[in-house]
Structure 1
Amino acid sequence: MDPLSNTTLPRTSATLTVRVIKSFEYRTEKSFVLHNLNLESTTVGHLKDLARAAIASQPGWKPYRNVTLDTMKLYTHAHGAKTTNLIINLDHDDWILDDDSKLLADLGFENETEVSFFNKELYTQFKANPQTNWDY
Structure 2
Amino acid sequence: MSSETVLTVRLVRSFEHRNFKSVVFRGVNLDQKVEQFIGFVKKDASTREGLPPPFKRFDYDTMKIIHQAHGAKTNELVMSLEDDEKLILHNGLDLRACGVANETELAFFKMSDYEKFKANPQTVW
TM-score by length of 2: 0.91
Alpha-carbon separation, structure 1, partners of 2:93 and 2:3? 16
Q: Letter of the aligned partner of 2:97 in structure 1?
A: D
- Structure 2 unmatched ranges of 5 or more: none
Partner of 2:106, secondary structure, is strand
Counterpart contact for 2:46–2:57, Cα < 8 Å? no
Instruction: Choose from 44, 50, 63 the match for 2:34.
Output: 44
Counterpart contact for 2:15–2:117, Cα < 8 Å? yes
- Structure 1 unmatched ranges of 5 or more: 1-9
Deviations 1:31-60 (A, max 9, x none): 1111011212x1111111111111111123
**Match for residue 60 of structure 1?**
50
Q: Letter of the aligned partner of 1:57 in structure 2?
A: T
**Match for residue 72 of structure 1?**
63
**Number of equivalences:** 123
1:32 aligns with 2:14: no
The Cα RMSD (Å) is 1.3
**Match for residue 88 of structure 2?**
96
Calculate percent identity across the aligned residue pairs. 39
Q: Letter of the aligned partner of 1:69 in structure 2?
A: Y
Alpha-carbon separation, structure 1, partners of 2:79 and 2:6? 20
Structure with higher Rg: it is 1
Partner of 2:114, secondary structure, is helix
Partner of 1:37, secondary structure, is coil
Instruction: Choose from 114, 118, 129 the match for 2:105.
Output: 114
